[in-house]
């Protein structure tokens, strides 16, 4: 666990706007990824100011090296004020208590999308949220859930896929979703002006391809959060502030 504080300590709120199918009016989503059991107070204040229609936690809210307390406190705090959804990541599986983690998360009142879909009604808008579990130790489960998610999409309806790993980009290319939300890469850990995607990413290694921002995958948009963890990353962040994604989905013209 790194304790070397070589990073920008303040969270950077990054706005993203993009069109989506079937919307009558804009929809605002706060996307939080990779807390790794760390606090949430700064994020909560920023999310309040954004006033989203829903909040999505995109995996690795928990970490096997720390207690579940921090992650559960974050889920409770956001669920108390916002319609909140959560998918697990690879570190939830690494706890060795995966089923317990999912039960504890559900007990906070958040909707856990572990291979599940949710039709969310926001005013006159309908959004399909599809959550796919991480493939760590369960590749067949991941593949089956991804297929199930695709089969749930209907023409003309806004559909979002919430998964965890951006390096699975080939799996998402051309899928019928307006947006695929991921995290995991921690922004490439070290970012420099001449290095667009950072230096190092978990499970990918050096010079990863997808670490932060929006990428086009054969017409499917992939959004990669740089994540929020600072203390509980194994490699310190350099030039890479923790990121809160503030997404606005707009009706297509």
Q: Residue 241's domain is classified under what CATH number?
A: 3.60.21.10
The radius of gyration of the chain's CA atoms, rounded to the nearest angstrom, is 17
Report the predicted TM-score, pTM, of the whole model to 2 decimal places. 0.93
How long is the chain?
Answer: 253
The pair of structure tokens assigned to 237 is 């962040």
In a domain, 1, yes or no: no
In a domain, 191, yes or no: yes
pLDDT tens digits for range 204-219: 888 889 999 999 999 9
Is the confidence at residue 3, as pLDDT, over 70? no
201 φ/ψ angles, rounded to the nearest 5 degrees: -135, 145
| Helix residue spans in the chain (DSSP H) | 41-50, 69-81, 90-94, 98-107, 139-152, 169-172
In a domain, 8, yes or no: no
Count structural domains, the chain. 1
Mean pLDDT of the chain: 91
**Nearest-angstrom CA–CA distance, 74 and 34:** 12
Q: Give the model's pLDDT for residue 158.
A: 97
What domain range is 139 assigned to?
13-251
In a domain, 164, yes or no: yes
In a domain, 158, yes or no: yes
In a domain, 4, yes or no: no
In a domain, 235, yes or no: yes
> Is the CB of residue 160 less than 8 Å from the CB of residue 192?
no
Q: Which has the minimum average pLDDT: 2-6, 40-44, 58-62? A: 2-6
């Amino acid at each position: 666990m790194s304790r070397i504080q070589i990073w920008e300590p303040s969270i950077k709120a990054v706005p993203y706007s993009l069109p989506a199918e079937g919307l009558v009016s804009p929809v605002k989503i706060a996307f939080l990824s990779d807390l790794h059991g760390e606090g949430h107070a700064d994020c909560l204040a920023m999310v309040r100011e954004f006033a989203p229609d829903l909040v999505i936690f995109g995996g690795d809210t928990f970490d096997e090296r720390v207690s579940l307390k921090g992650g559960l406190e974050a889920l409770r705090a956001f669920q108390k004020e916002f319609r909140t959804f959560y998918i697990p990541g690879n570190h939830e599986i690494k706890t060795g208590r995966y089923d317990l983690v999912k039960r504890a998360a559900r007990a906070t009142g958040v909707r856990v999308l572990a291979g599940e879909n949710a039709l969310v009604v926001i005013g006159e808008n309908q959004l399909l949220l599809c959550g796919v579990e991480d493939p760590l130790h369960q590749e067949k489960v991941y593949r089956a859930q991804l297929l199930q998610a695709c089969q749930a999409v209907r023409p003309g309806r806004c559909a979002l896929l919430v998964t965890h790993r951006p390096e699975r980009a080939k799996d998402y290319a051309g899928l019928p979703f307006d947006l695929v939300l991921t995290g995991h890469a921690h922004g490439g850990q070290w970012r420099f002006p001449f290095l667009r995607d950072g230096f190092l990413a978990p499970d990918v290694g050096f010079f990863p391809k997808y670490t932060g921002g929006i990428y086009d995958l054969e017409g499917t948009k992939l959004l990669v959060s740089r994540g929020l963890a600072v203390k509980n990353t194994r490699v310190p962040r350099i030039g890479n502030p923790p990121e809160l994604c503030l997404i606005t989905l707009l009706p297509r013209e």
